[in-house]
Amino acid sequence: MGIPAAEHIGLVSAFIDEVKKRPRPAADGLPRIFLWGNEIDDIAFVSLVEECGAHVVMDDLCTGSRFFWQDVSETGDPLEALARRYLCTHCPRSLKPQAGNRKEDLENRFGYIREFADGWKAAGAIFYIVRYCDTCELEGPDLKEYLTDLKLPVLMIEDDYSTSTIGQLRTRIQAFLEMIM
Ligand code: SF4
C-alpha cells in the first residue's frame, strides 16, 4: 500500500520464489484461524495468535486481503472500473444495497467470507476490531451472527490497538483455541 507498484511486484516475486523453496510443513493439528478486522498494520497480533497455538490462514483486513484480493474489471470504461474497485472494497463503510430478508442480506454482505473460511478450512474466526472505526464495530455483531449460523466459532475482540498491551489478550485467545480444538 505504501511503495511503488514495480518495487512491490519485485519484492512479492522474490518472496514467492523463497516460499516455494521452503520444505513442506508437516501437519501439526493446530487450529486454522480466519482473521477479520480493520487497520492491523503490525504483525504483533498475528504473532500472538500463532504463539497461542494456531495458524492464521486467511484474513479480511483493510491492510490485508481487502486491499488486493479483488481485481479491477478489464472490460468497459477503465476509469469507471477503477472507481468501482476503490469504492466497493469490503470495508463496511462501502455501500452494499440491502438484499431481501435478513438472512439473504447477511449472505449478500458476507458470502465472500464464507468462501474464505471454507477455502482455507478455517476452524474458527477471530475478529480484532481496533476501536473508533465505527463501521467495523457495527459490522462485527452481524458478521458474528452470520458465521455462528454457519457453525464457525467466533472470538470478537475490541481493542485500543496498543502493541505494548496486546499481550493481555493472550488468555482470551488461548481459551478460545482450547474451546475449538
Ligand atoms: S472505515 Fe474502518 S474498516 Fe473501513 S478502511 Fe477505514 S479502518 Fe478499515
* Element of type H or E holding 7: helix 5-21
Ligand 1 atom closest to the CA of 62, numbered from 1 = 8
CB-based contacts of 56: which residues, under 8 Å, 6+ apart? 33, 34, 35, 46, 49, 50
Q: What's the domain count of the chain?
A: 1
Domain-located, residue 8: no
Q: Which CATH number does the domain housing residue 116 bear?
A: 3.40.50.11900
Give domain status of residue 70, yes or no: yes
CA 38 to ligand 1 centroid distance, Å? 6
- Least Cα distance to 92 among 30, 134, 64 occurs for 134
Residue 82 maps to a domain: yes
Number of Cβ within 10 Å of residue 142's Cβ equals 15
pLDDT digit string, tens, across residues 39-95? 888 889 999 999 999 999 999 999 899 988 989 999 999 999 999 888 888 888 887
Among 171, 142, 143, 172, CA closest to 157: 172
Answer yes or no: is 34 within a domain: yes
Domain residue limits at 86: 29-180
Query: Is 136 close to ligand 1, i.e. is its CB under 6 Å away?
Result: yes
Predicted confidence band at 120 (pLDDT cuts at 50, 70, 90)? Answer: very high
The single residue listed with the C-alpha cell 464495530 is: 137
Residue 134: inside a domain, yes or no?
A: yes
Whether 79 is in a domain gets the answer yes
57 lines ligand 1 (CB under 6 A): no
- Whether 113 shows a pLDDT value over 90: the answer reads yes
